[in-house]
Protein backbone atom coordinates (compact mmCIF):
# COMPACT_ATOMS: atom_id res chain seq x y z
CA UNK A 1 0.00 0.00 0.00
CA UNK A 2 2.88 2.38 0.76
CA UNK A 3 4.19 1.88 -2.77
CA UNK A 4 0.75 2.80 -4.16
CA UNK A 5 0.62 5.98 -2.07
CA UNK A 6 4.14 7.07 -3.04
CA UNK A 7 3.41 6.37 -6.71
CA UNK A 8 0.15 8.32 -6.56
CA UNK A 9 1.79 11.35 -4.89
CA UNK A 10 4.65 11.36 -7.41
CA UNK A 11 2.26 10.94 -10.33
CA UNK A 12 -0.04 13.73 -9.14
CA UNK A 13 2.84 16.14 -8.51
CA UNK A 14 4.49 15.33 -11.80
CA UNK A 15 1.36 15.77 -13.87
CA UNK A 16 0.00 18.82 -12.04
CA UNK A 17 2.92 21.21 -11.66
CA UNK A 18 1.37 23.45 -14.30
CA UNK A 19 -1.95 23.25 -12.46
CA UNK A 20 -0.28 24.86 -9.44
CA UNK A 21 0.46 27.87 -11.63
CA UNK A 22 -3.15 28.02 -12.81
CA UNK A 23 -4.44 27.80 -9.24
CA UNK A 24 -2.05 30.53 -8.11
CA UNK A 25 -3.30 32.78 -10.92
CA UNK A 26 -6.90 32.09 -9.89
CA UNK A 27 -6.08 32.83 -6.23
CA UNK A 28 -4.34 36.06 -7.22
CA UNK A 29 -7.33 37.06 -9.32
CA UNK A 30 -9.58 36.28 -6.36
CA UNK A 31 -7.51 38.41 -4.01
CA UNK A 32 -7.15 41.28 -6.49
CA UNK A 33 -10.70 41.40 -7.86
CA UNK A 34 -12.82 39.27 -5.53
CA UNK A 35 -13.56 36.79 -8.31
CA UNK A 36 -13.53 33.89 -8.53
CA UNK A 37 -14.26 33.34 -4.87
CA UNK A 38 -12.02 30.90 -3.01
CA UNK A 39 -14.91 28.47 -2.54
CA UNK A 40 -15.51 28.61 -6.29
CA UNK A 41 -11.87 27.73 -6.92
CA UNK A 42 -12.00 24.80 -4.47
CA UNK A 43 -15.27 23.41 -5.84
CA UNK A 44 -14.23 23.92 -9.46
CA UNK A 45 -10.84 22.31 -8.91
CA UNK A 46 -12.31 19.27 -7.17
CA UNK A 47 -15.01 18.85 -9.83
CA UNK A 48 -12.45 19.23 -12.61
CA UNK A 49 -10.00 16.74 -11.09
CA UNK A 50 -12.93 14.43 -10.38
CA UNK A 51 -13.93 14.52 -14.05
CA UNK A 52 -10.35 13.77 -15.12
CA UNK A 53 -10.13 10.84 -12.71
CA UNK A 54 -13.54 9.50 -13.76
CA UNK A 55 -12.61 9.74 -17.44
CA UNK A 56 -9.35 7.93 -16.72
CA UNK A 57 -11.11 5.13 -14.86
CA UNK A 58 -13.69 4.74 -17.64
CA UNK A 59 -10.99 4.68 -20.29
CA UNK A 60 -8.96 2.21 -18.26
CA UNK A 61 -11.97 -0.07 -18.08
CA UNK A 62 -12.09 -0.04 -21.85
CA UNK A 63 -15.53 1.56 -22.08
CA UNK A 64 -14.34 4.29 -24.42
CA UNK A 65 -11.29 5.03 -26.51
CA UNK A 66 -10.20 8.57 -27.24
CA UNK A 67 -6.97 9.07 -29.17
CA UNK A 68 -4.48 10.96 -27.00
CA UNK A 69 -4.01 13.65 -29.63
CA UNK A 70 -7.71 14.64 -29.46
CA UNK A 71 -7.29 15.53 -25.80
CA UNK A 72 -5.57 18.62 -27.19
CA UNK A 73 -8.98 20.01 -28.17
CA UNK A 74 -9.43 20.74 -24.46
CA UNK A 75 -6.65 23.31 -24.80
CA UNK A 76 -9.13 25.56 -26.59
CA UNK A 77 -10.87 26.29 -23.26
CA UNK A 78 -8.00 28.24 -21.64
CA UNK A 79 -7.12 29.79 -25.02
CA UNK A 80 -10.69 31.06 -25.32
CA UNK A 81 -10.67 32.42 -21.76
CA UNK A 82 -7.32 34.10 -22.38
CA UNK A 83 -8.38 35.70 -25.65
CA UNK A 84 -11.56 36.96 -23.97
CA UNK A 85 -9.44 38.42 -21.15
CA UNK A 86 -7.10 40.13 -23.63
CA UNK A 87 -10.07 41.66 -25.47
CA UNK A 88 -11.40 42.99 -22.16
CA UNK A 89 -7.94 44.33 -21.24
CA UNK A 90 -7.64 46.14 -24.58
CA UNK A 91 -11.13 47.62 -24.31
CA UNK A 92 -10.55 48.87 -20.75
CA UNK A 93 -6.90 49.94 -20.92
CA UNK A 94 -7.76 53.64 -20.70
CA UNK A 95 -9.61 53.32 -17.39
CA UNK A 96 -8.20 55.24 -14.47
CA UNK A 97 -10.03 53.57 -11.63
CA UNK A 98 -7.25 50.98 -11.27
CA UNK A 99 -9.67 48.10 -10.87
CA UNK A 100 -8.64 45.02 -12.80
CA UNK A 101 -11.34 44.17 -15.30
CA UNK A 102 -10.30 40.62 -16.07
CA UNK A 103 -12.62 37.88 -15.05
CA UNK A 104 -10.61 34.97 -16.47
CA UNK A 105 -12.58 32.34 -14.60
CA UNK A 106 -15.43 33.71 -12.53
CA UNK A 107 -17.69 30.75 -11.88
CA UNK A 108 -17.47 27.11 -10.96
CA UNK A 109 -17.97 25.97 -14.55
CA UNK A 110 -15.15 28.12 -15.88
CA UNK A 111 -12.80 26.87 -13.12
CA UNK A 112 -13.84 23.30 -13.98
CA UNK A 113 -13.21 24.04 -17.66
CA UNK A 114 -9.73 25.42 -17.01
CA UNK A 115 -8.91 22.50 -14.69
CA UNK A 116 -10.09 19.88 -17.16
CA UNK A 117 -8.39 21.58 -20.10
CA UNK A 118 -5.13 22.03 -18.21
CA UNK A 119 -5.24 18.45 -16.93
CA UNK A 120 -6.57 16.88 -20.09
CA UNK A 121 -3.19 15.41 -20.93
CA UNK A 122 -3.20 13.74 -17.49
CA UNK A 123 -5.95 11.40 -18.66
CA UNK A 124 -3.55 9.32 -20.74
CA UNK A 125 -1.13 9.00 -17.81
CA UNK A 126 -3.82 8.15 -15.27
CA UNK A 127 -5.47 5.72 -17.68
CA UNK A 128 -2.21 3.85 -18.17
CA UNK A 129 -1.75 3.60 -14.40
CA UNK A 130 -5.33 2.49 -13.75
CA UNK A 131 -4.99 -0.25 -16.39
CA UNK A 132 -2.03 -1.75 -14.55
CA UNK A 133 -3.31 -1.81 -10.94
CA UNK A 134 -6.14 -3.59 -9.15
CA UNK A 135 -9.33 -2.03 -7.78
CA UNK A 136 -8.09 -1.46 -4.18
CA UNK A 137 -4.99 0.28 -5.56
CA UNK A 138 -7.19 2.44 -7.83
CA UNK A 139 -9.31 3.47 -4.85
CA UNK A 140 -6.21 4.29 -2.80
CA UNK A 141 -4.73 6.27 -5.70
CA UNK A 142 -7.93 8.29 -6.13
CA UNK A 143 -8.01 9.08 -2.40
CA UNK A 144 -4.37 10.22 -2.53
CA UNK A 145 -5.20 12.42 -5.54
CA UNK A 146 -8.04 14.05 -3.60
CA UNK A 147 -5.71 14.85 -0.70
CA UNK A 148 -3.12 16.18 -3.15
CA UNK A 149 -5.72 18.56 -4.63
CA UNK A 150 -6.17 20.13 -1.19
CA UNK A 151 -2.39 20.43 -0.79
CA UNK A 152 -2.18 22.11 -4.22
CA UNK A 153 -4.97 24.55 -3.34
CA UNK A 154 -3.31 25.46 -0.04
CA UNK A 155 0.05 25.93 -1.77
CA UNK A 156 -1.56 28.22 -4.37
CA UNK A 157 -3.19 30.19 -1.58
CA UNK A 158 0.19 30.65 0.13
CA UNK A 159 1.84 31.73 -3.12
CA UNK A 160 -1.00 34.18 -3.75
CA UNK A 161 -0.84 35.69 -0.24
CA UNK A 162 2.19 37.91 -0.75
CA UNK A 163 1.40 41.63 -1.00
CA UNK A 164 4.00 42.19 -3.71
CA UNK A 165 2.44 39.46 -5.84
CA UNK A 166 -1.05 40.91 -5.30
CA UNK A 167 0.15 44.43 -6.15
CA UNK A 168 1.73 43.12 -9.34
CA UNK A 169 -1.47 41.37 -10.34
CA UNK A 170 -3.49 44.51 -9.66
CA UNK A 171 -1.15 46.45 -11.91
CA UNK A 172 -0.46 43.92 -14.68
CA UNK A 173 -2.96 41.10 -14.08
CA UNK A 174 -5.36 42.28 -16.74
CA UNK A 175 -2.61 41.39 -19.25
CA UNK A 176 -0.72 38.61 -17.45
CA UNK A 177 -3.64 36.36 -16.53
CA UNK A 178 -5.04 36.00 -20.06
CA UNK A 179 -1.54 35.53 -21.49
CA UNK A 180 -0.92 32.70 -18.98
CA UNK A 181 -4.16 31.02 -20.05
CA UNK A 182 -3.34 31.34 -23.77
CA UNK A 183 0.15 29.89 -23.20
CA UNK A 184 -1.22 27.00 -21.14
CA UNK A 185 -3.88 26.26 -23.75
CA UNK A 186 -1.35 26.39 -26.57
CA UNK A 187 0.95 24.07 -24.62
CA UNK A 188 -1.88 21.56 -24.19
CA UNK A 189 -2.66 21.62 -27.91
CA UNK A 190 1.00 21.28 -28.91
CA UNK A 191 1.82 18.52 -26.39
CA UNK A 192 -1.19 16.50 -27.49
CA UNK A 193 0.04 16.22 -31.07
CA UNK A 194 -3.32 17.47 -32.33
CA UNK A 195 -1.66 19.68 -34.95
CA UNK A 196 0.74 16.98 -36.13
CA UNK A 197 -0.18 15.58 -39.54
- Local confidence pLDDT in tens for the 197 residues of the chain: 888 898 888 888 877 877 887 888 888 888 878 888 999 999 999 999 999 999 988 887 774 455 656 656 766 777 887 888 889 888 887 664 444 433 456 788 888 888 888 776 678 778 877 877 888 999 999 999 999 999 999 998 888 777 676 566 667 767 776 787 787 678 767 766 777 75
pLDDT confidence of residue 63: 45
Task: Look at the pTM and tell me if it is higher than 0.75.
Answer: no
Q: For residue 36, is the peptide bond before it cis, meaning its omega torsion is within 30 degrees of 0? A: yes
pLDDT confidence of residue 41: 93
Residue 54's nearest CA partner among 114, 118, 130 is: 130
For the chain, the structural domain boundaries read: 2-192
pLDDT confidence of residue 154: 94
Residue 190's nearest CA partner among 35, 80, 75, 107 is: 75
pLDDT confidence of residue 48: 93
Per the CB < 8 A criterion, the answer to whether 87 and 181 are in contact is no
Amino acid sequence: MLETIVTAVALFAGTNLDDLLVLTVLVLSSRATGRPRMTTIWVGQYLGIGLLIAASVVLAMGLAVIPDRWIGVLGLVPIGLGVRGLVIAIRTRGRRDGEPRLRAATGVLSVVGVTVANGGDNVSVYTALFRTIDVPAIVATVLVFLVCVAVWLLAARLLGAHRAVIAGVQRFGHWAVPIVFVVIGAGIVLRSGLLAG
